[in-house]
Amino acid sequence: MSTVAESSAAESRASAAGRPARKGIRGTNLAFWIFVGPFTLGLLIFAYVPIVWSLFLSFFDARNTVTPTDFVGLQNYVDMLTDPDFLSSMVTFTVFAIFIVPLTFALSLALALLVNQVRVARAFFRSVFFLPTACSYVVASLIWKLSIFNGVRFGLANTVLGWFGIENIAWLSTVDPPWYWIPLVTVRLWLQLGFYMILFIAGLQRIPTELYEAAYVDGAKPGWQIFRFITFPQLRATSVAVLILNLIAAYQAFDEFYNLVGNVNYARPPLVYLYGVSLGSIQDLGRGSAGALILAVIIMIVTLVQSRIFGFGKAE
């Protein structure tokens, strides 16, 4: 009997040794919350709580206060949807998106193709093009305003034009033609091209080399044919992600507009207008919150429509 008991105990110990130990809250779970907990708490405090409070404020007359008592229902939403200035800001965004989204997509894809073909110092070129992404939008906007497109004779842009006999241009003036779109678009391009270039490079590296070898065997010519029938179709998921992220970023444009042209009617995207309503001379937090939520809903609808049209997230 003792031999049988000892054998059974030995089997139990061996079986227990073969199973992973369940550490519970004192082991794996505790380590998980040590790392994730601070970020979760920060996300809750600085993201979700303000969103809920903004939703609350949007139903009240909240002028110069964050603790309103005068309930107005949907009146703030009606006011924003019928406000000519808010609708004008949406038009400004539309013009900005028409410029920035196609240009960013095409130029970042072209840069990715070029850098991906480089055999020498590839990491150097990736770093050079990606480095502006780490620059502050405010700093870059001020450099564009004070040094490149300052509108005076010794500004960089006017100096280059002077070499060709072209007179000085007041780039940020309110007078037609609207030259201010050039600094607005170029500073955003400089800041974000590197980020989307990296996304495209990641997509290019996922393309199997066997596809290119098979195309060459079938007689496909290097260049446009390979890009059209092999490279670009294989970048479908990456392309849709770039379009969605780029459009959302265009909706959130603020720093370059505010620092280059200020809070003016002729070039004011939604966030600049909502900033003026909520924190400017009016300080109407109720209408500002309603406008912010309207903008958030528009972004979600546009994103879902894009995802639906292009089939983003579906298995290829």
d(CA 220, CA 213): 10
293: phi then psi, degrees, rounded to nearest 5: -70, -35
Q: What is the DSSP letter of 20?
A: P
CA separation (Å) from 117 to 112, 224, 244?
A: 9, 15, 26
Strand, coil or helix: 284: strand
Q: Give start and end residues of each alpha helix (H) in the chain.
A: 2-18, 28-43, 49-57, 75-81, 84-117, 122-130, 137-143, 156-163, 181-205, 209-217, 224-226, 232-234, 236-251, 255-260, 270-279, 285-310
pLDDT by residue for the chain (316 residues), tens only, comes to 445 445 555 555 545 455 554 554 455 577 888 888 889 999 999 989 988 999 999 999 988 887 888 898 899 999 999 999 898 888 888 889 888 999 999 999 999 999 988 878 778 888 888 899 988 899 999 999 988 998 888 888 888 888 988 888 888 876 667 888 999 999 999 999 999 999 999 999 888 888 888 888 877 777 788 888 888 888 988 998 899 899 888 888 888 898 888 877 778 888 889 888 888 777 889 999 999 999 889 888 888 887 777 766 555 5
CA separation (Å) from 35 to 22, 32, 49, 128, 280?
A: 19, 5, 21, 32, 39
Domain at 75-310: CATH architecture: Orthogonal Bundle (1.10)
Beta bridge partners of 63: 284
CA separation (Å) from 137 to 103, 188, 192, 241?
A: 19, 8, 10, 22
Contact 67, 295 (CB under 8 A): no
> What are the residues whose beta carbons fall under 8 Å from the beta carbon of 309, sequence distance 6 or more?
none
d(CA 300, CA 7): 64
Q: What is the pTM of this model?
A: 0.79
Domain edges within the chain? 75-310
